[in-house]
Structures are given as structure tokens and as C-alpha cells.
Chain A
Amino acid sequence: MTEIGIVGYGAYIPGHRIRTGEIARVWGANGEETERNLGIKSKSVPYLDEDTVTISVEAARYALRRCGVDPGRIGAIYTGSESHPYAVKPTSTIVAEAIGATPHLTAADYEFACKAGTAAIQTSMGLVGTGMIEYAIAIGADTSQGAPGDALEYSASAGGAAFVIGREKIIARIDKTYSFTTDTPDFWRREGQRYPSHGGRFTGKPAYFRHILTCAKNLMEIMDTSAKDYQHVVLHQPNGKFPIRAAKQLGFTKEQYETGLLTPTIGNTYSGAVMLGLSAILDVFGPGNRILAVAYGSGAGCDGFDITVTDEMKNYKLDAAPTTASQIQGRKFIDYATYARFRSKIERGGE
């Protein structure tokens, strides 16, 4: 069987951060308690000129700089996001032009709440695996917003990662992917609405936990593995609590989940979340490391992946682009007023 896997990857996280305590201060909530309840200390905030397109382009450029694949050999680009800047006009065509991959390729955008990027990986695997194309780029990126004062405002953040999928010089082999999908209305945003709505407590047990646990268990059953067969696990992380609880229920330990858990520092990057977590693990751990990755998207579904780092990783030019870790801490903390301006929650008036 043809081996398919990750040939290159890049991560991009905007440099601004806002602390949970600062958001809590504005809404009269207890900062320490909110931080503890959510397991989130701070979240990333995009600057005025950063959006899903710019994040996707930078991540894709970083990925190509490291693996050296000729952009002309990329046959498909799929970008998964719930915050594409245009309602009609693809993010992926802008990415394609900006990395020099046009015009001989196919491109489209995906939307599936927080798992649109992993859906892009699966489509890429199909096209690459059947030999239809040589390489594909799958991107998961978001600059999501929570309504002011809503619980989501503490977590909804910005960031993304791009994965080059191919058959040659694979640095991390995708041994198997498995998905679990149902119709579950836990979180949604109607056309034309600025902020999403959610089912409150309903987002936990019947939504996140049911899908993540079932998907992970079924994938491990197919692979005849258990938690101890993996060095690392990365689960979708809408907050800093859910992924830890789910990982423990699946039998994983702190050593296995800590590297891929980024939400406590950068918030929930939605379509970027699992892909950034995976990128943080690949940055650090070499050949032989086996990773279980499960993305969750509201609405609802999970994409699970069983991934093994190969010997080829030794030749990978990681230093050709900024690492995930170097971008996690951020560059500058801002107050709520600045954050509100950056996110167009307040607008200049009187003109």
C-alpha cells in the first residue's frame, strides 16, 4: 500500500495576547476563578491586518520553506476555517497565488467548525493516495470571535497551521484516519450573523466528549492499540479542561498530552487547534514517536489520525521557519480596549 503522510508543516500564531483576567475585569467576573474554570490564562489576538488568509499564507510559506517542495508540484490546496474573510471568494485561491502554486491546481475552502482543517488533510490524503496529484496543502486557520461578555470570548482566538501531504520524503506517516459524525446542534452561526450561538452545557457531554471519546476509541480498536502505544496525544481543545479530562478517560497521562495542549496560553484557535498542537509535537519529537490526534468540530464530528514520525524527520529543515513554541508565548499583552479595537468590537464614530 502507498504510504501517505506529512512532508512539511508550518505554524503561525499572531503575536498579541490578552489575559483571561483582563476580559473578566471588564465584565465584572472573577478573573482567577474564570482562569481556573476554563484552564485558559491568555489567548492570541490578531492585529488589524491579520486574518485567516494572512495566517494561512504565512503557515503555508513556512511549511514550504522547510520541506523545499516546488510550489508548481502542488496539485490541491484546501483551507478549513469558520472565519474565511469572504463569504464568497475562496481563501485557498489567495493562498495558492501567494505561495506561487497557481494556476495548475484545484482549490476549495472547507467549513466544519473546529475540524475543517483536518477534513482538508483527509481530502488531501485521498487525492495524493490515488495518485491524482503529487502534493496537497491542507490548512486549518481561524480568527474566531465570541460575542462580548459571552463565555466564548475568553477562548476564541487566532492561529493556524499548514500541512503538506505527499507520498515521498514523508516526515510523519499517517497510518490511519477515521471519522465519527452525527447531527448535533451544540454550536452554530447563521449566515450573516457576526457571533456564534451555542447550547451552553449541551456542548460538553453529548457533543465534545461523546464524539472525541468514541472517535479515539474506535480508531484505537481499528489499529489494535491502546493509550500506552502512543507517546503523544492531541485532542481538540476548546478550553484547557475538556482535552485533559477526555485524555485521562482514554487512559493517557500528562506526559502524553502536555506538549500538544496549547489552549491554556493561546486560547482556542478553532480549525487551527489540533493542527497547531500536532505541529508543536512534531517540532520536538523525532523518529519513532507515535501520535494520536483527534479533532472535533461542532455540528458535529471528529477526525482521528494515527501518526508515526519517520527517519526522514532527521533531514527536515525545522530551523527554516519559526517553531510553534517560539510563537506560543506571544510578543505583547494588550488591554480590553485595545483588544476591542483590534477586533472591531468598537468603531470610530463622529465622522
Chain B
Amino acid sequence: MEVPRFWRETRARYNLEGVRCGNCEKVFFPPREVCPDCHRASIGRMEKFKLSGKGEVYSFSTIHSAPDYFKDEVPYIVALIKTDEGPMVTGQIVDWEDGEVQIGTRVESVFRKISEQGKHGIIQYGFKFKAVRRALK
């Protein structure tokens, strides 16, 4: 990914920052300019809205054959997460044990390194997810 594009998407990637329609209150991630339901009524009323990072696994697949940068991480899991606020978010699941990730597994977001542009390029950070194991203590 090009540096300018990554930089534009930083807030969304770091903080799961989406938008909420001021008309119907529906939440969108990634952010969009206009609400697909309210159209004109939403123009100028799309407010920044930070997702909590909590949600559950809607579907997932285990990747065994990966693009170059991710080769060292195979096998890894990429999942579609249904966030508590509504939007579906795609993300990698980290720190999993065998059989732990199932449809419906509760997850929370973590901050990790996503990729590096070679040894000289920028390092891209952002959200991934991990299973919620037990009550925090």
C-alpha cells in the first residue's frame, strides 16, 4: 500500500474509527461519506464514531498459503467479525489455541503490526482481534 493512502486510513486502522449516521444512527466501518439508507438526509450528518473493538466471529478461515509478508505467520486465521455496534469488520485473529476460534466466539481488538514495506519502508500498525478468554483479573 502507498504511504499516502495508509496515512489517510491511519485513524480507522489504529482506532477502529468509523462513522455514525446522524439521521438513522446506523454505524459504518470503514467510514463512508453518505448513509446508504438515508442518502441526502445524512449529508453533513455522518459523525466520527469509535467502535469498542468487541464483537463475535461471524465466519473465519485458516490461511495456510499466504502472500510473502505473512508467510512466517502461517497458519493464521482471518475472520469476519460482527462488531457489537453493527459493522462487519475483517481482521486477523492472534494468539489462538487449536479449536478456540469458532463461529460466535467473543473477540476484542488488539493493536499489532500489520505489515512492513520491506526493510526500508514504513511499518503499518493497526487492529487485529483475539478471543476473550475469561473475565479480566
Which positions in A face B, CB cutoff 8 Å? 15, 47-51, 53-54, 57-58, 61, 85-86, 94, 97-98, 100, 319-323, 326, 331, 341, 348
Contact = CB atoms under 8 A, between A and B. Distances in A.
Given A48-B73, A331-B95, A97 B111 contact: no
A49 B136 contact: no
Interface of B: 10-11, 14-15, 50, 71-73, 94-95, 110-114, 123, 125, 128, 136-137
> 8 tightest A-B contacts by CB?
A49-B112, A49-B113, A98-B14, A57-B111, A54-B111, A54-B112, A322-B136, A97-B14
A50 B125 contact: no
A58 B95 CA distance: 15
B125 A47 contact: no
Contacts of B112: 49-50, 54
Contacts of B15: 97-98, 100
Contacts of B113: 48-51, 53-54
18 contacts: A47-B94, A48-B72, A48-B113, A49-B73, A51-B123, A54-B125, A58-B110, A94-B125, A97-B10, A97-B15, A98-B125, A100-B50, A319-B136, A320-B136, A321-B136, A323-B136, A323-B137, A341-B72
Centre residue among A47, A49, A50, A331 by max chain B CB count within 10 A: A49
B4 to A, nearest CB: 16
A98 B136 contact: no
B71 A348 contact: yes
A79 to B, nearest CB: 14
Given A58-B111, A85-B123, A100-B15, 6 more contacts: A86-B123, A94-B125, A100-B50, A321-B136, A326-B137, A331-B95
A323 to B, nearest CB: 7
A97 B50 CA distance: 13
Nearest to B116: A85
Contacts of A49: 73, 94, 112-114, 128
Contacts of A320: 136
A85 B72 CA distance: 19
B72 A348 contact: yes
A326 B73 CA distance: 25
A176 B114 CA distance: 41
A321 B135 CA distance: 10
Contacts of A51: 113, 123
B137 A319 contact: yes
Nearest to A347: B72
